Amino acid sequence: MSDTFGQTVFEAPGHDHDACIRGALARADALCAERGLRLTAIRRRVLELIWDNHRPTKAYDLLSAISAERGNAAPPTVYRALDFLLEAGLVHKIESLNAFVGCDAGHERGHPKFLICRRCEHVAEIPGPAVDSAIAREAERSGFTVDHETIEIGGICRRCAAAD
Amino acid sequence: MSDTFGQTVFEAPGHDHDACIRGALARADALCAERGLRLTAIRRRVLELIWDNHRPTKAYDLLSAISAERGNAAPPTVYRALDFLLEAGLVHKIESLNAFVGCDAGHERGHPKFLICRRCEHVAEIPGPAVDSAIAREAERSGFTVDHETIEIGGICRRCAAAD
DNA sequence: TGTACAAATGTTATATATTAACGCAAAGCA
DNA sequence: TGCTTTGCGTTAATATATAACATTTGTACA
Ligand SMILES: [Zn+2]
Ligand SMILES: [Zn+2]
Ligand SMILES: [Zn+2]
Ligand SMILES: [Zn+2]
């Protein structure tokens, strides 16, 4: 489970990614149990594939993987699983990449906001209400009622900058 | 030309849209002349079609229009014009809609940020540095260097809210 | 003015992304 | 058990975007 404050928005150097995936799936199991949602085999496997790394995953890469495993899989197979996972808040779509990332933030009140490193392609969510608040203030000036935010910040993460 | 402050981020009631388009094209002509860029007939026409209203325009709608006018036009015709216009900063892509809008903001220092009404589909740019600053602060906490922002806020504009 | 090079466009084909529609099967419920 | 909902398999279509190569147009310069 990632920290939500400080310097470890991106994974820390000693990141135990196996545990990271297990945690994400456990949280998904718990959340679905709690809400009476059915995390079926396909849906769970798609979620696991998305958590395979911290990079955005493309629908057709998921399709290839699922197809290789099960023999039969078509676009609807993966898009339906994605719809479910998006609806449940277990994954997010990165619009600027047409790709999907796992969500570990549990941002009930806020909207997801991403930092995306264009070198290593890792993605992290921006925590906290500061950005949402700034946007809310600007929207209010125009009498605009916000109900969805797509915020995807591209750049270079600390580790990639250090690796020059 | 839209105001960049106050309540007229979206077009005001008396908005003279013919003048609005003429202004946008005149600014494009001037900018291209100044930078030695070639605003060819196709590019200029695509820009004009995009400015036809304040809604995001889809590439294939542009293609239909161009194709109807000239007889010959294929996807590269319009995508190449869009590449040029994007590069020149004359239009922006709305990633969450796969569509394009004209830019009138001239935000040299900042990044484009959009309010998108899901009822009337009109789009306005959020002016000023407040949102960028909030994002810069959050990025800095993670040691992240920002070089691009995709900020697309969906909701209901004042006029649509008033028209209930 | 003619030629040489680069930029822009035409053209065909393909890659990538997403959804529609329909029928069957499994799961949940009375 | 029978009924109903939900999920899934399958086929096809639609939507979005790019690759590759030929041809034309514009521009610079001998
Ligand atoms: Zn991890
Ligand atoms: Zn990085
Ligand atoms: Zn206008
Ligand atoms: Zn509106």
pLDDT along chain A (164 residues), means of 10: 48 90 95 95 97 94 95 95 97 98 81 95 93 96 96 96 89
Residues for chain B: how many in total? 164
| Calpha distance B85→B65 (Å, rounded) | 17
The pLDDT of residue B11 is 84
What CATH number belongs to B17-162? 1.10.10.10
Is residue B127 exposed (0-12), middle (13-18) or buried (19+ Cβ within 10 Å)?
A: buried
pLDDT at position B3 over 60: no
Find the helix or strand (DSSP H, E) in which B113 lies.
strand B113-117
Q: How far is A11 from chain B (nearest CA, A)?
A: 11
| Calpha distance A155→A126 (Å, rounded) | 14
The pLDDT of residue A107 is 73
**In the block, residue with structure tokens 């015709």:** B77
Contact A92, A149 (CB under 8 A): no
The pLDDT of residue A3 is 35
Nucleotide nearest to B84 (CA to C1'): C8
**pTM of model > 0.75:** yes
| Calpha distance A28→A47 (Å, rounded) | 9
Report the share of chain B in percent with pLDDT over 70: 93
pLDDT at position B110 over 90: no
Kindly report, residue by residue over B44-86, the tens digit of the pLDDT: 999 999 999 889 999 999 999 999 999 999 999 999 999 999 9
The pLDDT of residue A6 is 38
Put simply, the chain A residues between 28 and 87 with a CB less than 8 A from any chain B CB are: none
Give the ligand whose atoms come closest to the C-alpha of residue A54.
1
The pLDDT of residue B5 is 37
Contact B131, A139 (CB under 8 A): no
Nucleotides of C under 7 A from a protein CB: 7-14, 16-21, 27-28
The pLDDT of residue A164 is 78
**Hey, is the C-beta of B6 within 8 angstroms of any chain A C-beta?**
yes
Residues forming a β-bridge with A155:
A117, B146
pLDDT at position B133 over 60: yes
Kindly report, residue by residue over A23-57, the tens digit of the pLDDT: 999 999 999 999 999 999 999 999 999 999 889 99
The token pair at A56 is: 């955005």
Residue ranges of domains in chain A = 17-162
| Calpha distance B89→A127 (Å, rounded) | 31
In sequence order, what are the residues at sequence separation of 6 or more whose Cβ sits closer than 8 angstroms to the Cβ of residue A8?
Answer: A2
The pLDDT of residue A8 is 52
The pLDDT of residue A10 is 87
